[in-house]
Structure 1
């Protein structure tokens, strides 16, 4: 049963568009199968299909290859290799290390080394697969670094992809020992496959001026435009990227879509024909990066009541073979290693470890979840060390008056709001009574153990790279009153276009249906930032709002002059224009303004205020505001099999003044379930040769309806954003992902109940049935040893 609470929804005035649960703008088309994704587009005449030949070793060199023989194959149109690239050969988004094609040095299993073009997709991939087996010979490296165990020694040469970074102050053992209680712990955290429903796909067409028209499933069209132009050695303006909708992204199409777009464009440029490239699911999973696995450690100095006085944290991201976005991702893990708690005197160190795997990349939360779960484990450990309920430990360590500054120097201005939110959830979820009931159950049942946990979320909103916090929009009003908008954000199912459509309609005072949002295109709004960092609505919504305000002001000034009325006598609501005692339609006003040569097109721009960060000093305000939330999870585990069921989840989440409650609740629900998958059953497995074994739905388990909580209660925290965001809303994309940490903590609680909470649970993530069973066994061994 799911209970969705939107208590403020009925308070929305009839004339308002923002704040209403308007259906997703593509929902009906997607349900009917009418929404077009790139694989649905009719192919241009003469379109070719591309496939990649990929390496069959994880690390080493190509000794010999006979790819020239493929030119004689009757079904092969062309073979394109590294030497055929006219421009840049490395497409690393920030730092170098990501060759488009690599024919000599091999850095991970299934690394692309050549491109095959054929007249059908099936033929192209069949030929590529055969070439993988028969036409390339390799010399493998003697040793591979695939896991944390392989790279524990950071003194090894080339053990990192980027230098380590430190936030806070240096904390030595002597400082920790000044506290009455010292505590330490460690955890291994698995990665996660994006598993977007629409795989990586691009369709490139050559243009008459020697450029490329590109349709691609990407969260960052402007970066794709830049990289395609650099690979081809042409000007940026010769490349146009069009992106109408993605069938999911989750960060997996922020940088990693670029390689396939560049390859399709390279082939189209060489052959002067359209080229389509779509990766089969098993190839997609093998050649694209994942959420970063992490290995984390903490040391705490505490008073006798469990309050943190000094902290030493270490987060180690396993980055793959190249930097990609790992520098910023590990930084984000460091930023969020405090979650909602004051760390006292704190040192936070982040390492970027190199592995011989595909380069890991952005994923919903961008490193934040991997940092946050460390301090949440520490809260569970403190509770056991001090014989307290973990919720009480959390309350004592929350940011509070006198302890409301992060380890990077940013004030937590809403610390009291977070405390109030947790208190409200504790009451709504009946936490204390359920805790007593669960304790009674566990004392009476030896086979099935129950666990309960409440964990908060404090997640910073903004790109930590300051220059990315900008957006543009282009708005046209046509003479019939209809409005067309183009903005820099991309729609991947999260409802961004719907929210921006609502914002424009609300700003202009017209019905939602009057506004149409078109494909994200680099020839309409240039130099856009990726749709990421939960900032899509904040940035693009405000840019669109600014464009709409400019048009509206022009129309108001025209109406004042034309009708000889004061500005305060003019109101535009629901497409009707009130002019003192007279009323005309929106379309009439627009038509009259056009006849008087009033410009009806405008651009809008927005840059996030207040943010700054000095990385060298590790001090600043990297975030515009914090999104807040909390969740309570109740689980049951079978101590003989490790099987886990999620019995109930209660969520109270802060979205500020909701732009669209239904979409926001959908995002919260989906994020929680995706986070649950990361922490419980999604497990990445590589063999000893560096080949990904979990490369299909048959051997990689994402959550299904069977994993859904038996009871799910989601409520929006009804409070406006104190910062001047778009209509005082708050971002909702990433923050609720980390609400699922409460489920992992509840499993920990259930396992620790075996020893009556005397022994911390040794539970890495994902907490699969096997890991839960092993953790239970350690509890039983402890109890047996104690009572022998």
Structure 2
């Protein structure tokens, strides 16, 4: 059996002994924080009476917007996200009051005594309605290249239509939470379940009207994030800090599952109108689109999400003429936010849908149509935003995958199966990905590290990346171990702390290993240089002959004589040589003009491909994934076992988004799918029966940390292959191409089969 866990630091996850926020020891006098949410999606607050609630046993404080000492705003970009509702409410679940009590039971009893009078207003729940009334959170985004009018005129054919794309709940296993501890000097120590400790720090300081230096944020491992704990983790940090300050006692606030799902935002749903022109050979000549994004009630990270959508409209394909308008529609729902892929999955879903439509109309193999449209090395290698696509291995990946997956043989077998089965059909679909790595807001591409070497030869590392189950700490140990020649068990990665590593960027955008790994490598290289000079004089080893390996130092020309690292470190310490080093890293050579949508926003692209085969029952909508083959370019992987797990997990999460997971609000704006009983995420029975994941070999990235490429977000795109395979199975049943919105739930599959065929 293949070994999956490669480091002893991961054993606590396997054994279930990892301490998450709610497992940590309780400080003395700890209180429980609780939120009173708005019961309506849109309304005017006329009166709040907390008199009776304050009399409840165990209640220590109830706070409203008027009790905030600083600014009533915690928006990460725009000042349109209140800490607590003041005067109006804009979604069902918006925080109105905060309560500190001895426990949740006391807090809930107090909340039942709150008297609130809200004049309900009609909620806007459909982005189409918001679009028609021009109700946008910020100015729409626009991108174009070439002349789409000429492109459509020169096309032999056109295809156009509408695609509805649903949202997605993060469903991290550990819900949002924070613990705030007031200190005697008036400062605060926050333990937060966040992907962005600096955002927590700055928001708490702003809301409390104190300096950021008085707010210390520490992050232990968190139980999943997927983007949901990037900005919206700030809420619990701010809420617990407000209550802790008011009571001068520690306050822990951890949302339960229903609260988490009702309060927080999701992946952005979208309604998309598209048109594409193409030749008889299947070559795209023009593509235009209009995206209506459901952003929720405030901005959050929507601008950056829509921007990344815009930068991935092309996916893996060169399109000579392209034009798109992307609208940030305001609705009375929780503010939608970052979720793995960050706007790119919605964009890629549309262009991949178009590729299938083109292939079906021309009766060409979809793999061939994709291949003909791939970015090429010359003439067809510049994106609509002006970045050159370098190190392009898309065609090589395609050729290898078609061979290793027995594509032609399986395609014929599926056709044979479909001829003899009336209500059960099979479909295959192939999806490539070209995913840009870097924050599109350029200044965020930075990281820092502090490396300390101890006299016994062990090492501690402080860096800005948050461990959330993705194996970041293990990869950072790998970087340090390889660079310093130190055994991994002698290296400890400390929890992220804003007092040690300040001004961190969020662990997001698949940049965690790159930014923090480069900073660690830079610090270690400086430390080694200092010690190398000492080795030359102390051990009489020529500089170019020094080898650091397995916690030993030796002359490569005299390998029999080895010096323990702890001996070297002790001697260096006595010689008054610093054994600590700090380093800062920024991603080189990237720039992006948001006004013109031109530049080089990405340091590099991650590419790969997935082929999925499904079998669908047209009468019930049930489907099974017969087989999935994935070929993914990880460069020189820092740890293939971790990367393989990330690819598998991302695929399943993507598959869940496009098939099983459906967010349903009633006409009053109440989220009905607010728990695992009503919101279906993939289970073990939903994964491919035959699941083959392989690295694309021989393509290290010279600018990556030790030749590696990012892994977190790009593989989620592979989940689209399940949706398109189901669509192709439905087309086989109907005898013509079908339109299948996302998610392709059982109900939607049956309705589609009924609409396009005859279920008799």
- 3-state secondary structure, aligned to 2:59: coil
Q: Give distance in 2, aligned partners of 1:161 and 1:188.
A: 21
Shift of residue 605 of structure 1?
A: 1.2
Q: Give distance in 2, aligned partners of 1:29 and 1:722.
A: 32
Q: CA-to-partner distance for each residue in 1:738-784, whole Å, 9 max, x for gaps? A: 0111111101110111233xx32110000001111111122216x99
Name which of 282, 294, 307 aligns with 1:318: 294
Unaligned runs of 5+ in 1: 5-19
Equivalence for 1:61: 44
Contact 1:94–1:324, Cα closer than 8 Å, also in 2: yes
- 3-state secondary structure, aligned to 2:375: coil
Deviation larger for 712-721 or 503-512: 712-721
Judging changes above 3 Å, is the alpha-carbon distance between structure 1 residues 658 and 174 closer, same or farther for their aligned structure 2 residues? closer
Name which of 425, 431, 435 aligns with 2:411: 435
Q: Give distance in 1, aligned partners of 2:298 and 2:12.
A: 40
Q: Give distance in 2, aligned partners of 1:148 and 1:93.
A: 23
Equivalence for 1:9: none
Equivalence for 1:625: 604
Report 1:374-413 matches (<5 A). 374-400=350-376, 401-413=378-390
Equivalence for 2:631: 652
Name which of 400, 412, 429 aligns with 1:453: 429
Deviation larger for 73-82 or 231-240: 73-82
Equivalence for 2:648: 669
Q: CA-to-partner distance for each residue in 1:569-604, whole Å, 9 max, x for gaps? A: 321111111146442100000000000000000112
Equivalence for 1:596: 575
Name which of 657, 661, 665 aligns with 1:678: 657
Shift of residue 389 of structure 1?
A: 1.7
Shift of residue 316 of structure 1?
A: 2.2
Report 1:498-577 matches (<5 A). 498-577=474-553
- 3-state secondary structure, aligned to 1:300: strand
- 3-state secondary structure, aligned to 1:161: coil
Q: Is 1:33 matched with 2:3?
A: no
Q: Give distance in 2, aligned partners of 1:719 and 1:294.
A: 38
Shift of residue 233 of structure 1?
A: 0.8
Equivalence for 2:317: 341
Q: CA-to-partner distance for each residue in 1:245-277, whole Å, 9 max, x for gaps? A: 000000000000001110101111111110010
Q: Give distance in 2, aligned partners of 1:226 and 1:24.
A: 34
Contact 2:738–2:756, Cα closer than 8 Å, also in 1: yes
Shift of residue 172 of structure 1?
A: 5.2
Judging changes above 3 Å, is the alpha-carbon distance between structure 1 residues 467 and 76 closer, same or farther for their aligned structure 2 residues? same
Q: Give distance in 1, aligned partners of 2:624 and 2:123.
A: 37
Q: Is 1:105 matched with 2:105?
A: no
Judging changes above 3 Å, is the alpha-carbon distance between structure 1 residues 24 and 360 closer, same or farther for their aligned structure 2 residues? farther
Q: Give distance in 2, aligned partners of 1:631 and 1:421.
A: 10
- Number of residue pairs the alignment of both structures matches: 756
Equivalence for 1:192: 168
- 3-state secondary structure, aligned to 1:741: helix
Contact 1:323–1:359, Cα closer than 8 Å, also in 2: yes
Q: Give distance in 1, aligned partners of 2:69 and 2:15.
A: 43
Deviation larger for 437-446 or 574-583: 574-583
Shift of residue 28 of structure 1?
A: 1.3
Unaligned runs of 5+ in 2: none
- 3-state secondary structure, aligned to 1:339: coil
Equivalence for 1:744: 723
Name which of 110, 113, 118 aligns with 1:138: 118
Equivalence for 1:734: 713
Q: Give distance in 2, aligned partners of 1:122 and 1:171.
A: 63
Q: Give distance in 1, aligned partners of 2:272 and 2:742.
A: 12
Contact 2:148–2:286, Cα closer than 8 Å, also in 1: no
Contact 2:434–2:608, Cα closer than 8 Å, also in 1: yes
Contact 1:315–1:333, Cα closer than 8 Å, also in 2: no
Q: Give distance in 2, aligned partners of 1:337 and 1:346.
A: 9
Contact 1:25–1:498, Cα closer than 8 Å, also in 2: no
Deviation larger for 237-246 or 306-315: 306-315
Q: Give distance in 1, aligned partners of 2:147 and 2:332.
A: 33
Contact 2:128–2:292, Cα closer than 8 Å, also in 1: no
Equivalence for 2:585: 606
Q: Give distance in 1, aligned partners of 2:572 and 2:595.
A: 53
Report 1:134-173 matches (<5 A). 135-141=115-121, 143-153=122-132, 156-157=133-134, 159-169=135-145, 171=147, 173=149
Shift of residue 563 of structure 1?
A: 2.8
Equivalence for 1:17: none
Shift of residue 383 of structure 1?
A: 1.1
Contact 2:447–2:516, Cα closer than 8 Å, also in 1: yes
Shift of residue 179 of structure 1?
A: 1.5
Shift of residue 170 of structure 1?
A: 6.8
Equivalence for 2:333: 357
Q: Give distance in 2, aligned partners of 1:403 and 1:534.
A: 27
Q: CA-to-partner distance for each residue in 1:211-247, whole Å, 9 max, x for gaps? A: 1001010000011011111111111111110101000
Judging changes above 3 Å, is the alpha-carbon distance between structure 1 residues 39 and 267 closer, same or farther for their aligned structure 2 residues? same
Equivalence for 1:725: 704
Report 1:766-781 matches (<5 A). 766-780=743-757
Contact 1:24–1:495, Cα closer than 8 Å, also in 2: no
Judging changes above 3 Å, is the alpha-carbon distance between structure 1 residues 722 and 26 closer, same or farther for their aligned structure 2 residues? closer
Contact 2:172–2:224, Cα closer than 8 Å, also in 1: yes
- 3-state secondary structure, aligned to 2:140: strand
Shift of residue 31 of structure 1?
A: 2.6
Shift of residue 97 of structure 1?
A: 1.0
Contact 1:315–1:334, Cα closer than 8 Å, also in 2: no
Q: Give distance in 2, aligned partners of 1:642 and 1:718.
A: 38
Equivalence for 1:115: 98
Judging changes above 3 Å, is the alpha-carbon distance between structure 1 residues 25 and 327 closer, same or farther for their aligned structure 2 residues? farther
Q: CA-to-partner distance for each residue in 1:592-648, whole Å, 9 max, x for gaps? A: 000000000011211111111111111111100000110010001111111111111
Shift of residue 336 of structure 1?
A: 0.8
Shift of residue 94 of structure 1?
A: 0.6
Shift of residue 171 of structure 1?
A: 4.6
Shift of residue 723 of structure 1?
A: 3.8
Contact 2:127–2:293, Cα closer than 8 Å, also in 1: no
Name which of 330, 342, 357 aligns with 1:366: 342
Q: CA-to-partner distance for each residue in 1:40-68, whole Å, 9 max, x for gaps? A: 11111111111011111101111222113
Name which of 456, 459, 475 aligns with 1:480: 456
- 3-state secondary structure, aligned to 2:599: strand
Contact 1:560–1:566, Cα closer than 8 Å, also in 2: yes
Shift of residue 137 of structure 1?
A: 1.3
Q: Give distance in 1, aligned partners of 2:345 and 2:154.
A: 31
Q: Give distance in 2, aligned partners of 1:296 and 1:287.
A: 26
Shift of residue 297 of structure 1?
A: 2.0
- 3-state secondary structure, aligned to 1:162: coil
Equivalence for 2:742: 765
Contact 1:79–1:117, Cα closer than 8 Å, also in 2: yes
Shift of residue 344 of structure 1?
A: 1.5
Q: Is 1:691 matched with 2:674?
A: no
Shift of residue 687 of structure 1?
A: 0.6
Q: Give distance in 1, aligned partners of 2:698 and 2:342.
A: 26
Shift of residue 125 of structure 1?
A: 3.2
Contact 2:170–2:339, Cα closer than 8 Å, also in 1: yes
Contact 1:507–1:545, Cα closer than 8 Å, also in 2: yes
Q: Give distance in 1, aligned partners of 2:663 and 2:590.
A: 36
RMSD: 1.6
